[in-house]
Chain A
Amino acid sequence: MKNMKLKLARVEKDLSQEELAKIVGVSRQTIGLIESGKYNPSLSLCINICKALSRTLNDLFWEEEEK
């Protein structure tokens, strides 16, 4: 499932995938794959992304259950 919350938060911060990747310390493709839902990041990487985008884990990675 695509992670639109992450993509929106990154765009709001005016960061490209490459810039965010540099801050977090991963490759651009990894950020791209997380946004497209093709890679499940570890908790520590999620936390680093949240810190870089000034968001919480809930904001970026919590999926509301569909009722």
Chain B
Amino acid sequence: MNLFKRTKKTTDERIENVGNKIYREMYHVIMAICLISFVVKMYKYGAGIEEVVLELVILIGGGVYFLARSIFLGVFWDEVEMHDRTSKTSMSMKTIFSSIGLAFIIAVVMGINSAVSYADSSSQGLWYFTLVSFVSVIIYLPILLLLFGGIYLLAKKVSMRNQEDDKEL
């Protein structure tokens, strides 16, 4: 009886590759469904976080998992290397610029929000906008620089360690 004899499982790399492609597409479909659900719930129930917490966990969790895996497998730094080979502006500069840009966008949005919501006159609105925007930049700029810069430096460190391991072979 060969019923319980273990047979060597053969895998077809093409089927695996196509399967991986389908998984990738499936991830995009799931993200799109979550995003639609998020927007619909926000529209339907208002800006409460309780209704959309699952969607946020899936959207952010998926992104964080992808980022962490790509950093620790060294793919993130490989992409940086490929980018720097062809682009005039290096990824480190782009990281700094995008952190500054994002901090200013957040500051402007918060400034407009406070001016529209709390100011009684236009001069008071301008004062609120300037004050809140300035404070927002002071708060968010270091946080975003630390976050993006930290990710960048962590990816670099992991890649350097992997390179050391490769040299030992």
Contact = CB atoms under 8 A, between A and B. Distances in A.
Interface residues of B, number: 6
Interface string A23-62: 0011101100100000101100100000000000000000
A29 B10 CA distance: 15
B164 interface: no
Find the residue from B10, B11, B13, B14 having the highest chain A CB count within 10 A.
B14
Contacts of A30: 12-15
B12 A33 contact: no
A25 B14 contact: no
Contacts, number: 21
B99 to A, nearest CB: 40
Contacts of A39: 14
B20 to A, nearest CB: 13
A3 to B, nearest CB: 15
B86 to A, nearest CB: 23
Interface string A4-20: 00000000000000000
A49 B8 CA distance: 18
A45 B10 CA distance: 12
A49 B13 CA distance: 13
**Interface pairs A-B: 8 shortest CB-CB:** A25-B10, A26-B12, A30-B14, A27-B12, A30-B12, A39-B14, A42-B13, A45-B13
Interface of B: 10-15
Given A26-B14, A30-B14, 17 more contacts: A25-B10, A25-B11, A25-B12, A26-B10, A26-B12, A26-B13, A27-B14, A27-B15, A29-B14, A30-B13, A30-B15, A33-B14, A39-B14, A41-B13, A41-B14, A42-B13, A45-B13
